[in-house]
């Protein structure tokens, strides 16, 4: 079975529609998808950015938010800007990476729906716990596991992997032969590549 | 007839495949396309960039060149990196904006074919003159008109227009209702918008 990785960052706006679309796109093509949460912060820090490039460069920020409005309208996804933007995504990423397979994908979509669908905070541990409960998980045990040293290291390694792959941002599709496709608008192309459709 | 503007910068890599694709995409949809050359330099200068962001941020640069290889392979377009990159696009932009309608589109494609299809310089006035001759134009008269004060002002006004529109980069499709679609991979969406297909 063809495989691909879906790399995403919870603070990333374009990762939101991508996370909502990618499972169907992969299933349609028969691609087994691995969800790979990571943090852009360490990569941006190396580029000299101490904030989202969308805040540092207001022209790009204004364009992105209008683009997001159009994208979400077309997909019939709600869009509410979280305040502040970007949200601190560390806890969400640790929770997601502590889970496996479909549980990871499911909670990731719930986190995105809260953050960009309802403008909710990603730092509110009780709110994230409620989403874990809705997903059928034990919130206390899950959050404890997410904050365990070994899991923190797991997320650090994912960030190192992202750097080694040369990811320029999020979201990305990465194929087994090391090709990177960056952007919500490139999911189809990346998944097509994974099944040899060029 | 539905209308749209195609904004492009000769130094911009992604503007190359876009320039080669956009006329067919517009014709298919019955969209009258206005070709609008401009310079990104003044906009990037305001953002604090003194070089191409693809040079300033090597991770983005490496990604972009690999992405361009894939895009050009799929479109069966040759790709040779010009050296230096980016090319100084001032003369090419002045020539293009001094022409009208199909002559402007035609010479723009010839300049891109030289620059990114063959890795040729955009600063070589004799080489650009030869392309003007191939396009059926008088090279000396055209270049003199391009370097006339009034034409230089025309290009400056185009750059002001680009800033007023909030263009975040090149290429862009801009519709009559002021929507901006940035990127070679968004031409279809922008042209669809121009004909009311959302």
Domains of chain A by range and CATH? 3-194 (3.40.30.10)
Q: How many CB pairs under 8 A join A and B?
A: 49
* Residue A114 C-alpha, separation from nearest chain B C-alpha, in angstroms: 26
pLDDT per residue over A49-102, tens digit each?
888 989 989 999 999 999 999 999 999 999 999 999 999 999 999 999 999 999
Q: Would you call A166 and B43 a contact, using CB atoms and an 8 Å cutoff?
A: no
Q: Is residue B45 predicted with pLDDT exceeding 90?
A: no
What is the model's pTM? 0.95
pLDDT per residue over B139-179, tens digit each?
999 999 999 999 999 999 999 999 999 999 999 999 999 99
pLDDT per residue over A136-188, tens digit each?
999 999 999 999 999 999 999 999 999 999 999 999 999 999 999 999 999 99
Helix or strand holding residue B100 (H, E) = none
**Lowest mean pLDDT across A56-60, B104-108, B114-118, B193-197:** A56-60
Q: Would you call B63 and A198 a contact, using CB atoms and an 8 Å cutoff?
A: no
- How many helices (H) and strands (E) chain B has is answered by 10, 4
φ, ψ for residue B32, nearest 5 deg: -80, 120
Q: At what angle do helices A15-29 and A187-194 cross, to 10 degrees?
A: 30
Q: Measured between CB atoms, which of A63, A168, A186 is closest to B166?
A: A63
pLDDT at B2: 96
Partners of A183 on chain B (C-beta within 8 Å) are 185
3-class DSSP state of A7: strand
pLDDT at A48: 84
* Residue B61 C-alpha, separation from nearest chain A C-alpha, in angstroms: 9
Give the ipTM: 0.94
Question: Which CA distances in Å does A174 have to A28, A122, B23?
Answer: 17, 26, 32
Whether the upstream peptide bond of residue A84 has omega within 30° of 0, thus cis, is: yes
């Amino acid at each position: 079975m063809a495989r691909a990785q879906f790399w995403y960052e919870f603070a990333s706006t374009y990762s939101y529609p991508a996370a909502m679309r990618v499972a169907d796109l992969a299933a349609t093509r028969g691609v087994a998808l691995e969800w790979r949460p990571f943090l852009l912060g360490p990569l941006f820090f190396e580029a000299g950015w101490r904030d989202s490039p969308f805040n540092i460069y207001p022209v790009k920020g204004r364009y992105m938010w209008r683009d997001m409005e159009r994208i979400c309208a077309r997909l019939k996804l709600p869009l509410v800007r979280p305040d502040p933007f970007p949200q601190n995504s560390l806890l969400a990423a640790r929770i997601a990476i502590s889970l496996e397979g479909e549980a990871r994908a499911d909670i990731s979509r719930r986190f995105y729906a809260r953050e960009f669908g309802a403008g909710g905070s990603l730092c509110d541990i009780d709110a994230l716990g409620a989403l874990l409960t809705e997903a059928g998980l034990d919130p206390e045990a899950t959050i404890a596991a997410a904050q365990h040293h070994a899991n923190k290291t797991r997320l650090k390694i994912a960030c190192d992997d992202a750097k080694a792959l040369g990811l320029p941002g999020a979201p990305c599709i990465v194929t087994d032969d090391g090709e990177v496709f960056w952007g919500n608008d490139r999911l189809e192309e990346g998944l097509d590549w994974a099944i040899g459709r060029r």
